[in-house]
Structure 1
Amino acid sequence: MTAPALAWLRDDLRIADNPALRAAVDHGGPVVVLYLFDEESPGIRPLGGATRWWLHHSLAALADDLSGRGGRLVLRRGPAEKIVPAVVRETGADAVFWNRRYGASREIDARLKERLRGDDIEVASFAANLLVEPWTVQTEQGRPFQVFTPFWRAAQQQPVRELVPAPRELTSPQHVDSDDLDDWGLLPTHPDWAGGLRERWEPGEHAAHRRLEHFVREVLADYHERDLPAQEATSHLSPRLRFGELSPVQIWHRAHGELTAAARKNAGRFLSEVGWREFDWSILYNNTGLAHRNFREEFDAFPWEHPRKADLEAWQQGRTGIPLVDAGMRELWTTGYMHNRVRMVTASFLIKNLLIDWRIGEKWFWDTLVDADEANNPANWQWVAGSGADAAPYFRVFNPELQAEKFDPHREYIRQWVPEIDGDEYPEPIVDLKQSRAEALAAFEHVKAARTTR
């Protein structure tokens, strides 16, 4: 009888287009499908509240999907280098398969691969969660790209792999111990702040595919209006990619499939946004401290203000007196999501009008966004700050009033989230936009000075 194979899932909570799961099934014996909740290993960043909520429901959906195919999801909690070998011993597995990670946690995988192979266990890892692997897209000098446009041009020259079919059925050992998902405490209880998330989202692979089809058939034709937050013109696929309920390869092939003429005109624009995700992961692969270190070292000289508690709380709670900023922060708190244009505006306001360190804002988004991942979240904050790769120049300050006039001219989005905007209860701005912009530009002189002395 063929020994079991272990398919170790991470941010790839899907059955279709899952090379590691496919390899475990093709191994020929029973398949132990393992999800390990690891917040202890070095290089692992503990999840924020919103992503913990999503993870709970995505795992529940995956367990149901596997059960419908005759399989079973095994849940364990603890450090990977302890738990994975233990599960191998318990099950008698002679092969372990996983899809590759690209942050600091890849060092865990490398050590495990060496250890398991030393125990005569077959180990294989696969490209599954990016269109192109970071080390395959480099400049002519063999260095990582630091500017998006040439990166994406080069990335598009790489072949995109074919889709991996989902197994129709699989057999999983039933005797393997598994944690109870509810015991992990991923859901908020006291207080239960997730009502807006439950109303807005349905996690899971099936829901992800429904959303992709809806976007391609009903929304992509209007994608050229994606900067208008009151319009339904964006994909809302980011949390699906975050947890791997969809792969970018699935999205790529669908965007090259059957489309209306209007949708086809926008397909390239949409895929370039998927390309930004690829670029951010390339940046993280080569700079694993992206969430806490300036990509551009000269920004270490920036004189951040010590944040006033009242100002920071006003920003977090959406009561700054700046309508577009407040609308975005309230959307975030209610739904775990914020429109991308508004993300840039709210981040710019914190960094450049309040002079609060981008890392403080990044941590808040990490805790409150359902799509926060370890590459995109810090890379986007550093882009706005001016400290990142291909970053907006520091002197480019998003004026939230002008942004509202241009992208929410009828205040539909603002009124949705700040209904008191036309009444007497709305607060005065906590900061003067013109004066605070001038102060930010003056502070930037410290960075310019540090740059010239290098």
Structure 2
Amino acid sequence: MTQDGPVVVWFRDDLRVSDHPALRAAVDSGAPVLPVYVVDDSGHGARPLGAASRWWLHHSLAALSASLEKRGARLVLREGDAEEEIRAVLRRSGASRLLMDRRYAAAEREQDQRVQRLAEQAGAEVESFTGSLLHEPGAVLNGDGERFGVFSPFFRALQRQGDPREPLPAPQRIAGWEGSVHSEALDDLRLLPTSPDWSGGMAETWEPGEKGAHRRLDGFVRDHLRHYAAHRDEPAADVSSRLSAHLKFGELSPYQVWHRVAAADATEEVRTKFLTELAWREFDYDLLERGHALEQENVHRQFDRFPWADVDQDVLRAWQRGRTGIPLVDAGMRQLWHTGWMHNRVRMVVASFLVKNLRYDWRLGEQWFWDTLVDADPANNPAQWQWVAGSGADAAPFFRVFNPVTQGHKFDPAGEYIAEWVPELRDLDAKGRQEPWTVPDDLAAAAEGTGLPAYPSPVVDLKASRQAALDAYAEMRG
């Protein structure tokens, strides 16, 4: 290690330069700064990203690299097992320190501990920071000093702790390390889809990167926040913040979102309603940090005995591609396939349909969402699937089955959302859009000109399948 070795900043789920505690500490140290990102599909740390998230990551890394370069530093890109890659960078650069924001899944924490040992053996000091959550998991406790298993008291306890810290400003100048260490070309990381490139809909919908994240936040607060509480469950209303992917990749910090919303010109009820969603994120990460393998294991282990149905691959594929014959389900799944995102109310409906009406294991849905969502998050995605399945913490009871027709009439009464994503039903009236089996003679005519076949019949009877799910639940309970 040389006397003037750089400070390595290991970027992970924090692809921004503002409100970045590790980067700020590196800049304030006065030492040259070496930013590094490792694409690690080894399975020894973070869960390997799905295809939609890899698309987002490519563009987010491009934006981060440009932002760092503008300030005087070069982003080093590596590919492989993060332990080996970080160790190689430390040795090659003679780094004096390794700084990083914390991660919380068990495999991530174990990998970070191994990296810390390797770094210290190489003579580099290691420090980690809280950057992606408002509070460290385990910091919000009940009166007995224990963690919460139910969300509402967790949120009240979080509120009693007061506002989180103010966001840190972005450094205007970064003294980049002038030495040489190998960096992969971004295109060589093969993050983008090819043969075919199916990402056109995502490119039309999103602007990955820190600038896009702040534009999205500003637009939401300016145009939609005041309508959020009243219309958040209406998929056609378009009042969702759509910040989830920006938060997942750390292009925004939750501190920035919290303070921006808390200071907005909106009623306290509206602000609190939105901040509750940030708190759910905190709650899910608290579960993840406890060691739950959320994407694999039922939080409530009695669901290990649940009698899932045998999977019909044609039916599963119909669910995945939005061809179940249930319009609200199909609209959501087509929105997901095209944009990499789905409205939250519709996520609950499509998940309930898979888990309860089809009685397929929730893990099948969680894995599909992991691969197709741009905001696929290691805590939120499995925790919310388990919430719907009834197997998670503070979950909806299993016997709460979301009837997709009832949900459609309630939250999309004119069928506007359905018409947007299921164009072969667009020419039908509101009832026909919600219940096309009531007008079967019109379905072929309605599909003309859309390039799509006539809308299919339902793959399952909603009433009979609901009863079968309740019978299975009773069987599990003995």
TM-score (norm 2): 0.92
Q: Partners in 2 of 1:170 and 1:33 — Cα distance? A: 10
1:151-199, CA deviations, whole angstroms, 9 ceiling, x for partnerless residues?
1111222351222221101122342221011011110011111000000
Matched, 1:23 2:56: no
Matched, 1:134 2:126: no
Equivalent position of 1:61 in the other structure: 63
Equivalent position of 1:72 in the other structure: 74
Equivalent position of 1:340 in the other structure: 344
Q: Partners in 2 of 1:287 and 1:176 — Cα distance? A: 36
Matched, 1:230 2:236: yes
Equivalent position of 2:465 in the other structure: 436
- Tell me the secondary structure at the aligned position of residue 136 of structure 1: coil
- Contact 1:221–1:265 (CA under 8 A) maintained in structure 2: no
- Contact 1:328–1:342 (CA under 8 A) maintained in structure 2: yes
CA displacement at 1:41 relative to structure 2:
4.5
- Tell me the secondary structure at the aligned position of residue 87 of structure 2: helix
Q: Partners in 1 of 2:253 and 2:25 — Cα distance? A: 17
Name the Cα RMSD after superposition: 1.2
- Contact 2:19–2:170 (CA under 8 A) maintained in structure 1: yes
- Tell me the secondary structure at the aligned position of residue 373 of structure 1: coil
Equivalent position of 1:382 in the other structure: 386
- Contact 2:225–2:266 (CA under 8 A) maintained in structure 1: no
Q: Partners in 2 of 1:18 and 1:199 — Cα distance? A: 29
Q: For residue 412 of structure 2, what is the amino acid of its counterpart?
A: D
Equivalent position of 2:181 in the other structure: 176
Matched, 1:273 2:277: yes
- Contact 2:91–2:122 (CA under 8 A) maintained in structure 1: no
Equivalent positions of 1:224-263 (< 5 A) are: 224=229, 225-257=231-263, 259-262=264-267
Worse-superposed segment, 175-184 or 409-418: 175-184
Worse-superposed segment, 393-402 or 416-425: 416-425
Equivalent position of 1:452 in the other structure: none
Q: Partners in 1 of 2:276 and 2:102 — Cα distance? A: 23
CA displacement at 1:118 relative to structure 2:
3.8
Q: For residue 93 of structure 2, what is the amino acid of its counterpart?
A: T
CA displacement at 1:244 relative to structure 2:
0.1
Matched, 1:405 2:409: yes
Q: Partners in 1 of 2:192 and 2:17 — Cα distance? A: 24
Q: Partners in 2 of 1:442 and 1:414 — Cα distance? A: 31
Worse-superposed segment, 61-70 or 343-352: 61-70
CA displacement at 1:303 relative to structure 2:
0.5
1:357-395, CA deviations, whole angstroms, 9 ceiling, x for partnerless residues?
000000000000000011000000000000000000000
TM-score (norm 1): 0.96
- Contact 2:90–2:122 (CA under 8 A) maintained in structure 1: no
Equivalent position of 1:208 in the other structure: 213
Matched, 1:312 2:316: yes
Equivalent position of 2:373 in the other structure: 369
Q: Partners in 1 of 2:314 and 2:19 — Cα distance? A: 47
Q: Partners in 1 of 2:67 and 2:80 — Cα distance? A: 24
CA displacement at 1:427 relative to structure 2:
1.1
Q: Structure 2 vs 1, CA of residues 140 and 75 (structure 1 numbering), >3 Å: closer, same or farther?
A: same
Q: Partners in 1 of 2:146 and 2:360 — Cα distance? A: 32
- Contact 1:5–1:24 (CA under 8 A) maintained in structure 2: yes
CA displacement at 1:305 relative to structure 2:
0.8
Percent of pairs with identical residues: 56
Unaligned runs of 5+ in 2: 429-442, 445-453
Aligned to 2:332, which of 328, 333, 341? 328
Matched, 1:293 2:309: no
1:378-423, CA deviations, whole angstroms, 9 ceiling, x for partnerless residues?
0000000000000000000000000000000000000000011233
Q: For residue 375 of structure 1, what is the amino acid of its counterpart?
A: A
Unaligned runs of 5+ in 1: 450-454
Q: Partners in 2 of 1:43 and 1:76 — Cα distance? A: 15
Q: For residue 75 of structure 1, what is the amino acid of its counterpart?
A: L
Matched, 1:155 2:158: yes
Equivalent position of 1:194 in the other structure: 199
Q: Partners in 1 of 2:273 and 2:89 — Cα distance? A: 44
- Contact 1:132–1:158 (CA under 8 A) maintained in structure 2: no
CA displacement at 1:448 relative to structure 2:
1.6
Aligned to 1:97, which of 96, 99, 110? 99
Matched, 1:221 2:226: yes
Equivalent position of 2:451 in the other structure: none
